[in-house]
Amino acid sequence: MKKTIELNNELIDIDIIEQNPKFVLFNLEGREYTVSLESSDDYRLNLAFNQYNKTVVAVDSHFVVDGVEFSIKAPRRSRSKSKATGLHQMTSPMPGKILKIFVKEGSEVILGSPILVMEAMKMEHTIKAGMSGKIEKIYFKEGDQVAGGVELVKLC
Amino acid sequence: MQKNNKIKKILIANRGEIAIRVSQTAKEMGIKTVSLYTEEELNLPHKSYSDESYNLGSGPLKDTYLNQDKIIDIAKKCGADAIHPGYGFLSEKSSFAKKVKEAGLIFIGPSPESIDLMGDKKTSKIKIQELGVPSIPGYHGDNQEMSHLIKEAHKIGFPVLIKASAGGGGKGMRIVFNENEFQAALEGAKREALNAFSDDTVLLEKYITSPRHIEIQVMSDQHGNHTHLFERECSIQRRYQKILEESPSPAVSPELRSRMTEAALKITKGINYEGAGTIELILDTDGSFYFLEMNTRLQVEHPVTEMVTGLDLVKLQIMVAQGDKLPYIQSDIKQRGHAIEVRLYAEDPDNDFLPSIGTIKKIGKSSVRDTRLDCGYVDGNVVTISFDPMLAKLISWGESRDSATKKLNLALNEILFLGLKTNRDYLKRILTLPEFKEGLTFTHFVKTYEAGLKPKEPNQEHLALAVAAYLFNSQEMTGPKQIFNKTTTAWENLSGFRNI
């Protein structure tokens, strides 16, 4: 049975050859894996893979193996808005205050040049241009309080 | 004669892991504890860990954890006889120490005079020079005009460090390599300083190219006994804030150690210091060192000292504050083995260490021996932008630096803070970097080894096991797993807060 999963925000296909509650045989990127579930507690699964034993932490879409975290979930039916965010959109990474804006509408900027400085958690963070281009629109002014994930500036 | 002085109830004027840490020791000493919390912190564990807790309300910090009168008022009303300030917040405000004393309470910390003297970067350096301890060449004058500061910078010689006079924690700090960068850096430093400390006075300092940050833990009592508890190296920093601390330092020889600790004791004796403190020193590659500043409080990284000396620093603070003599003499204290602490932060190391927010879905627990977690959160807590993004400190002890490193790296596989962007994986990258093993820990470590500290490609078997776990979990499940998944969803809905 073919199945598509979203792994670290990328879609990948796996082929499940056999599966029951204690055992799974699947093909991932050209290699077959046989894994059995030995035991589990409220957030950890003890798996056996060939002769190896591994504990995997599994909480919602978070999976951790030997300290390495993976995000795995069923693919979303519609692409989320954040996915549509392009390099031409500069969004606030978190709630905070706009301290200083270095550009004006119409200014030409190059990739990586500072656009504005935000303050959050009493530290300053510089928002840099995600691509080279022209500032089409600035949505805020210095001193404004902004929420997280809000579009700050439009580049074209 | 001192029987009446024994502390019976301590109000902790702090939050998070340090509030819990102080409570732990107080409980062990048979002392009652009082904790504080804000409207935002109703579910945080420091609220319920103490014997009593009081609500500071909501609003900006000046109305809550920085509201001196409100806190002293609560202490008096609840019958506390002492206040422990923790670190940060009011811990280095002499006005607070003074008010606490005037209210007839014991301030667990040094005298207001010591805080004043050492808290100001200018007066402390003058005092330190009098005592014969070297400090870094710099400009600490009142003339804050741009042209004058540029002239002074030339006198010191570039590169130069601009620092907020009232500063700390890297806020209001900039390195400037030439005159062209000076104006923008000065403006930024002043802006940050004004915001954080309501004072935009800056000072200039010679910037040492390959420095290490070494600090000496000191402990003095009210009877003129001044001791040191050896050094900690805290060179690995990002945004001028420490992320990894260890004791002993791989760079400090016995000879250097004795020179550094001697200098530290010169200071504590010279200012008649009381309680716990830290003398921060900058070590140059040639073995010369300079006084940086003194922190007149308990340090975030005090656990590494506790693990190598076997002492409880909070207990010593409390004993000293109630007038007891230190229960040891200098020669009793040995550095045994090696301890390393890492600070887990809610931040994205791969995006300029930008702080992150969200709900902690799972912290996890460590099964590694000789490992300690000092943590101010429990599963389900929400991390907001209102407070410091430090989530917890994880500390491992080993007989050697290598064994402490390995234990800590293992523990970081289990202390996860799932649900948030954290620096956990980044800390693992540091611990496994060959240059860390070699002890090449300079304060610009993070920048120097940037390329080696980038995220690694996951290995295919790890990936396959994660996918297998996903497949097991996404089947129709029976038993505890299903109940767990349901509760997870339930509290996510309750908190009304989606992780972003």
**Domains defined along chain B, listed by start:** 3-108 (3.40.50.20), 137-206 (3.30.1490.20), 212-453 (3.30.470.20), 460-495 (no CATH)
Average pLDDT, chain A: 87
Pick A82-155's CATH classification: 3.90.25.10, 3.40.50.2300, 3.40.50.150, 2.40.50.100: 2.40.50.100
What does the pLDDT average to over B299-326?
A: 98
How many Cβ atoms sit within 10 Å of the Cβ of residue B303? 23
The predicted pLDDT at position B480 comes to 43
CA B321 to chain centre: 22
The minimum CA-CA distance between B269 and chain A, rounded to whole Å, is 36
User: Is B463 close to A7, i.e. CB distance below 8 A?
Assistant: yes
The predicted pLDDT at position B87 comes to 97
What does the pLDDT average to over B429-442?
A: 98
Chain A residues within an 8 Å CB radius of B193: none
Chain B residues within an 8 Å CB radius of A74: 474
β-sheet bridge partners, residue A128 = A114
User: Is B472 close to A120, i.e. CB distance below 8 A?
Assistant: no
What does the pLDDT average to over B113-122?
A: 90
User: Is B469 close to A66, i.e. CB distance below 8 A?
Assistant: no
Query: Is pLDDT of B498 > 70?
Result: no
What does the pLDDT average to over B291-313?
A: 97
Sequence-distant (≥ 6) Cβ neighbours of residue A75 within 8 angstroms: A4, A5, A6, A11
B86 three-state secondary structure: coil
What does the pLDDT average to over B88-107?
A: 97
CA B130 to chain centre: 29
What does the pLDDT average to over A101-111?
A: 88
The minimum CA-CA distance between B171 and chain A, rounded to whole Å, is 7
The predicted pLDDT at position B343 comes to 98
Its pTM surpasses 0.80: yes
**pLDDT bracket for residue B4 (50, 70, 90):** low
B432 three-state secondary structure: helix
The predicted pLDDT at position A120 comes to 76
User: Is A33 close to B468, i.e. CB distance below 8 A?
Assistant: yes
Q: Which residue from B355, B470, B477 is facing A94, i.e. has the nearest CB?
A: B355
Query: Is pLDDT of B277 > 60?
Result: yes
What does the pLDDT average to over B75-79?
A: 97
User: Can you list the positions of beta strands (E) in B248-311?
Assistant: 275-283, 289-295
Higher pLDDT, B434 or B492: B434
Residue with tokens 């309501």: B198
The predicted pLDDT at position A86 comes to 56
The predicted pLDDT at position B195 comes to 86
Residue with tokens 């190896």: A52
Range in A85-94, B302-311, B355-364, B415-424 the model is least confident about: A85-94
Could you read off the pLDDT of B16-58 as tens digits, one per residue? Answer: 999 999 999 999 999 999 999 999 999 999 999 999 999 999 9
**pLDDT bracket for residue B459 (50, 70, 90):** very high
What does the pLDDT average to over B304-308?
A: 98
Residue with tokens 């296909």: A13
Average pLDDT, chain B: 92
Range in A135-144, B266-275, B293-302, B443-452 the model is least confident about: A135-144
Could you read off the pLDDT of A47-105 as tens digits, one per residue? Answer: 999 899 999 999 999 999 999 999 999 997 654 444 444 566 688 877 888 999 999 99
Query: In which region does residue B104 sit, left (phi positive, over 0), alpha (psi from -120 to 50) or beta (all else)?
Result: left
Quick one: closest CA in B to A40, which residue? B481
The predicted pLDDT at position A85 comes to 46
- Interface ipTM: 0.82
The predicted pLDDT at position A80 comes to 46
Q: How far apart are CA B364 and CA A44, in angstroms?
A: 10
What does the pLDDT average to over B232-250?
A: 96
Q: How far is the first Cα of chain B from the last one, in angstroms, to the nearest whole number?
A: 59
- Spell out a b/e string for B61-78, using b for 16 or more CB atoms within 10 Å of the CB, else e: eeebbbbbebbbebbeee
Q: How far apart are CA B302 and CA B312, in angstroms?
A: 9
How many Cβ atoms sit within 10 Å of the Cβ of residue B144? 14
Quick one: closest CA in B to A8, which residue? B463
- DSSP single-letter state for residue B426: H
The minimum CA-CA distance between A153 and chain B, rounded to whole Å, is 19
Query: Is pLDDT of B111 > 70?
Result: yes
Query: Is pLDDT of B353 > 50?
Result: yes
Query: Is pLDDT of B2 > 60?
Result: no
Chain A residues within an 8 Å CB radius of B465: 35, 47, 49, 54, 56, 65
What does the pLDDT average to over B119-131?
A: 89
Chain B residues within an 8 Å CB radius of A43: 362, 364, 484
Contact B389, B368 (CB under 8 A): no
In single-letter form, the type of residue at position B241 comes to Q
What does the pLDDT average to over B297-302?
A: 98
The predicted pLDDT at position B130 comes to 95
Quick one: closest CA in A to B191, which residue? A99
Name the percent of chain A lying above pLDDT 90.
49
- Spell out a b/e string for B7-40, using b for 16 or more CB atoms within 10 Å of the CB, else e: bebbbbbbbbbbbbbbbbbbeeeebbbbbbbbee
Chain B residues within an 8 Å CB radius of A47: 465, 468-469
The predicted pLDDT at position A84 comes to 40
**Closest C-alpha to B84, from B70, B102, B71:** B71
Could you read off the pLDDT of B370-429 as tens digits, one per residue? Answer: 999 999 999 999 999 888 899 999 999 999 999 999 999 999 999 999 999 999 999 999
User: Is B428 close to A67, i.e. CB distance below 8 A?
Assistant: yes
Alpha-carbon distance values, B52 to B33, B39, B80, B106 (Å): 7, 16, 11, 19
Domain boundaries defined on chain A = 2-73, 82-155
CA dihedral B452, B457, B462, B463 (to 10 degrees): 160
Structure tokens at B131: 């005592």
Sequence-distant (≥ 6) Cβ neighbours of residue A155 within 8 angstroms: A87, A88, A89, A90, A109, A129, A130, A131, A133, A134, A135, A136
Q: How far apart are CA B215 and CA B86, in angstroms?
A: 18
Could you read off the pLDDT of B133-168 as tens digits, one per residue? Answer: 998 888 988 999 999 999 999 999 899 999 998 876
Residues of B classed as catalytic: 297
The minimum CA-CA distance between B451 and chain A, rounded to whole Å, is 18
